[in-house]
């Protein structure tokens, strides 16, 4: 699965996210957020070679239940999950290396 490029306007229920079995990154943010836009090239670069990681990109904001259930306060927030459990979290990542390190906790990169 490849990286999503647009934020979904509606997110799944928390129970659906918790039921996911494989490696997953849930990204919370918005299209108009400057921090979110600045992080996109870093996220895209880090995702190269991690085609088996599901990427859920969810628009967040006040009153959005999924983001509140994850206690998201700043954007973008990336939650790295394996088997429905949070393994790592990055808030406003500014370095591709930290994203790669978190991805390595949930997925083995493919040989290129």
Query: pLDDT per residue over 11-57, tens digit each?
Result: 899 999 999 999 999 999 999 999 999 999 999 999 998 989 999 99
Laid out side by side, the sheet with 85-91 consists of: 54-59, 23-29, 77-82, 85-91
In a domain, 54, yes or no: yes
- What mean pLDDT is predicted for residues 68-75? 96
Rounded CA gap, 93 and 70, in Å? 17
Position 71 in a domain: yes
Which one, of 2, 3, 77, 68, lies nearest residue 36 by Cα? 77
Total number of domains constituting the chain: 1
The whole-number average pLDDT for the span 79-94 is: 97
3-state SS, residue 68? helix
Full-model pTM = 0.93
Domain assignment present for 8: no
Torsions phi, psi for 82 (to 5 deg): -140, 125
| Residue 36 covered by a domain | yes
High-pLDDT (> 90) share of the chain, %: 86
Q: Residue 89 belongs to what domain range?
A: 14-104
Q: Residue 5 domain-assigned?
A: no
The number of beta carbons lying within 10 Å of the beta carbon of residue 94 is 12
Whichever domain contains 54, its CATH number is 3.40.30.10
């Amino acid at each position: 699965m490849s990286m999503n490029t647009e934020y979904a306007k509606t997110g799944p229920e928390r129970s659906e996210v918790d039921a996911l079995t494989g490696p997953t990154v849930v990204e919370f943010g918005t299209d108009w957020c400057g921090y979110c836009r600045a992080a996109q090239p870093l996220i895209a670069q880090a995702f190269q070679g991690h085609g088996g990681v599901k990427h859920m990109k969810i628009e967040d904001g006040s009153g959005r239940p999924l983001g509140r259930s994850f206690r998201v306060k700043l954007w973008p927030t990336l939650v790295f999950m394996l088997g429905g459990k949070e393994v790592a979290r990055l808030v406003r990542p500014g370095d591709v290396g930290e994203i790669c390190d978190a991805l390595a906790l949930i997925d083995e990169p493919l040989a290129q």
